[in-house]
Amino acid sequence: MNMKIVKFIGISMIIIIIICFGFSNETIYKNYNYAGESKYWLAKYDVKSIEKFTLINRLSSIISNSPKTKQYEYSCKVTKIFTITYKGDINDLYQKKLFFEYISSASKGSRELTFDTLPKDKVFKIQSSGEGNSIEDRDEIIKVLIKLDNKIERLSLQPVQ
């Protein structure tokens, strides 16, 4: 077989592979941060996600070039961290009961702690991660409730740009 024909076939196959498989995926990284504070507390909520859209049935989609025949597979990995920090003296927390919660459009979480001994830190967290989870809107307001014994504080976390 002629070397020019072999080179032509080889280059053609590489181009076909690149067209079929090289331009079929899209990955979107999102990092949303929200923050707020009250008289005694600082609060923040961080959401990180990796969303992947993968074109399936690639060859028929490319041949027909019709949006109706293109199908995508979607996957999403999300990590969420909600953190509150007490602004007062750590001794104020001794022998107290702390309850805190957040509520967003996509998730909610709560935690309750009792300090029978002096806590080592003034920072408290709720962390979650998973696949296929929905995420918050970039510009939404996150509602927070913090109750230390009978003192209740409500916060609204605003988007941090």
30: CB partners within 8 A, 6+ apart: 47, 48, 49, 51, 135, 138
Helix or strand run (H / E) with residue 62: helix 58-64
* Residue 70 in tokens: 């293109």
* Residue 123 in tokens: 């920072």
pLDDT at residue number 53: 83
Query: Considering only CA atoms, which of 106, 105, 98, 101 is closest in space to residue 82?
Result: 101
Q: Given pLDDT bands bounded at 50, 70 and 90, which one contains residue 101?
A: very high
Number of domains, the chain: 1
Q: Which of 28-37, 63-72, 101-110, 119-128 bottoms out in mean pLDDT, i.e. has the lowest?
A: 63-72
Residue that is written with structure tokens 């935690």 in the block = 111
Q: Which domain holds residue 19?
A: 3-159
C-alpha distances (whole Å) from 107 to each of 24, 45, 54, 135 are 31, 12, 26, 8
Residue 9 carries which DSSP code?
A: H
C-alpha angle with apex 157: 155 to 161, nearest 5 degrees? Answer: 155
Q: What is the Cα–Cα distance from 135 to 31, expressed in whole angstroms?
A: 10
Amino acid present at 58: R
Contact by Cβ (8 Å): 45, 33: yes
Residues 143-156, mean pLDDT to the nearest whole number: 96
Residues 28-33, mean pLDDT to the nearest whole number: 95
Is residue 64 predicted with pLDDT exceeding 80? no
Q: What is the Cα–Cα distance from 75 to 43, expressed in whole angstroms?
A: 29
Share of the chain above pLDDT 70, in %: 81
